[in-house]
Structure 1
């Protein structure tokens, strides 16, 4: 029987399979292809340079032992890196790299045709030049299920999170999308799931990242011609947590690369957890194929906590900080701050600080002063969706009418007011405002804002519209 590259590699794989974890074998050895056997030199093809770096860092010893068993002491291993060229329709290119000569397999001198003279590590979380391929989870251990108190407002999301933590990738909640307004605990819950998974399954690779940072890493990868390594890095994650996924809105390149990463993870039984400030159905400028995947699993909403939950949150916060406070004061704070958990905890911290620094006893009067100041000074974060709802309700029309192409004067004015307040109350760009309010361009939004300013100074009735809506949005 003739010895081929494939038969040698198959024997190596049998040995390797018996000596490493099944998940590691599936991730790092199944994608490898045997290409060529010349005397005692075996060439294997790997998907990326990051892949090659990882094998050399973690599996060089077992590769040496298995290959030496097959080809003797003079065995050599050559990596062929085959990557799709993502720029234009040129043929895929290859790079041959000998195994590192670190007392392992003997290296073979092969020309490296690519421009990058010193191969960089492609883990986007690692500073270039530092040879450390360990993937840190980026999780905050202070965010746990223990201090994420259950109430009617979050029961579904919390229960789904616990189910995912117990069996990541093994429930129907994949992906798990947690959505809700600002300060309701989306990030806390996402971290808590990740922390719990790391405790239960330490061998799993868990990674938390904001959509904003993910986008920046992708931009850097494209600049450095490392797109394939970027994709491969994310495809080896067992549990991927992406925070504020609505940030991908309008970023078609990032959405495209995330689509491929998502598909790979989902098909391989890996868990994806997403957070967003709105439900999939309300997301603007996200590709339909991506939105449909967001709906594959479970979308769980976090709502404003009810009074009982707010009291529990405050008592838990005080207990963790070792502070005692009378129940009537806790009730007062809980009754008067209803918007979100972040503001609730912020108010109680301000109250404790005032009492401590000014050596004042915590009384209802002090609580009243702090809560009034806090609520007054806490600027509400208003979304474009909310602005459209307030304006539509004010003019007694539905949002579809507001966004329609009609040129009827009262509808046009309502739409212009929505654009004006979106510019005033949000940080969104003119293009983003126009896109979300009837798919208009930035010039239309600019014209709308100028029109509202002009009419406010010349039309008494129109000025009343502006004042009324402004009060509603400032409540």
Structure 2
């Protein structure tokens, strides 16, 4: 299994033979190699990232200087290829001596199909992006979402809705105090689903209310209902803003029923659990029939990791003393980002 140290070998170079089911010794050796790589990765990446993305992966084949690793879903494979490949290849090099590339593939994907996908201009399978009902913040992507221990269930529940596995549990209620990343998660989910060709509605509580009331005034209720009830994924953020709005809440219940009966999924974000908002029982019972996930503020160690990720996105480095000061503060994600951006601005003066 050892490769000669030296220049990185690209697919098409070298002469490695794929590991087939009939070559039991090679298959066993390949599994052992990948387990050793996973052991190193547990020390290299956060526990949260390891459990979300890398846990459950298996080595599929080794051929032409490239290790193909089967992920738990097509989306996870795509995400890891974009975000984790460098650290995975570094750990693989430590185990195997360098010169190997790594590519994650979807469950059951044939190696030749994976190669064709990687060779396409986009690097991913083509998909038709559907227009979203509402507005999605393009900066809020799932790839940039920081997975913390306090957001693990919420992230996993949302990921299941855009992965290729069945069945996914819906509705999903994501709740937590202001500024912990709920909107980022919901908008990232909307963008991911839309990019995969799903019909999506992503509205805040106020947005849903204003659209519905405008439809009532203009006599376009049927058009409004066609737009929001015919989606495959309905996302309502800031559910707490609907408290006390009897007519809008009644319409929301009918909308949830229509989306669910049509085979779609529902995700809502809120500062509190549905029952704590004093919402109607029939709405609470529908929402609580799925998953209710809390998003909690970062733990102390996670604050620094989040700051380092943001600095990497900005391609900026700050002195260690500055990182420590930023990481030891308290506050929401918004306040952390404000501190980071202020420090970066001062450094650039």
Using structure 1 for the length normalisation, give the TM-score: 0.44
Match of 2:322 among 326, 329, 333: 329
Partner of 2:104: none
Identify which of 282, 286, 293 aligns with 2:276. Answer: 282
Deviation at 1:162, TM superposition (A): 1.3
What's 1:344 paired with?
336
* 2:260 pairs with 1:266: yes
For residues 303-328 of structure 1, what are the alpha-carbon distances to aligned partners after superposition, in whole Å with 9 as ceiling and x for unaligned?
01001111111001111111111233
Provide the C-alpha distance between the structure 1 equivalents of 2:259 and 2:165, rounded to a whole number of angstroms.
Answer: 12
d(CA) in 2 for partners of 1:152, 1:353: 30
Structure 1 residues 339 and 267: alpha-carbon distance in aligned structure 2, compared to 1, 3 A threshold: same
1:6-52 Cα distance to aligned partner (Å, 9 max, x none): xxxxxxxxxxxxxxxxxxxxxxxxxxxxxxxxxxxxxxxxxxxxxxx
Query: 1:314 maps to what in 2?
Result: 307
Structure-2 separation of matches of 1:159 and 1:261: 25
The within-5 A match list for 1:85-234 is 135-137=131-133, 138-167=135-164, 170-172=167-169, 174-199=170-195, 201-202=196-197, 204-234=198-228
CA distance in 1, matches of 2:218, 2:165: 33
The superposition leaves residues 96-145 of structure 1 with CA deviations (integer Å, 9 ceiling, x where unpaired) of: xxxxxxxxxxxxxxxxxxxxxxxxxxxxxxxxxxxxxx843532232122
CA shift, 1:333, in A, is 1.0
Query: Where do 5+ consecutive residues of structure 1 fail to align?
Result: 1-133, 358-475
| Aligned positions, number | 219
* Correspondence 1:305 to 2:298: yes
Does the 8 Å contact 1:139/1:207 carry over to 2?
no
Name the Cα RMSD after superposition. 1.7
Cα deviation, residue 171, structure 1: 1.0
Quick one: which of 354, 363, 387 aligns to 2:346? 354
- Paired with 1:222 and 1:139, the residues of 2 have a C-alpha distance of 25
8 Å Cα contact 1:307-1:335 kept in structure 2: yes
> What TM-score does the superposition give when structure 2 sets the normalisation length?
0.60
In structure 1, the partner of 2:35 is none
Distance 1:150 1:135, change over 3 A: closer
User: Secondary structure of the equivalent of 1:146?
Assistant: helix
In structure 2, the gaps of 5 or more residues are 1-129
- 2:318, 2:344 within 8 Å by CA — same for their partners in 1? no
Aligned to 1:324, what secondary structure does the other structure show? coil
- What is the rounded CA distance, in whole Å, between the counterparts of 1:267 and 1:167 in structure 2? 20
1:296, distance to aligned residue in structure 2 (A):
1.2
1:42-81 matched pairs, under 5 angstroms: none
- Assess if the C-alpha contact under 8 Å between 2:141 and 2:191 holds in 1: yes
SS in 2 for 1:319: helix
Alignment of 1:405-424 (within 5 A): none
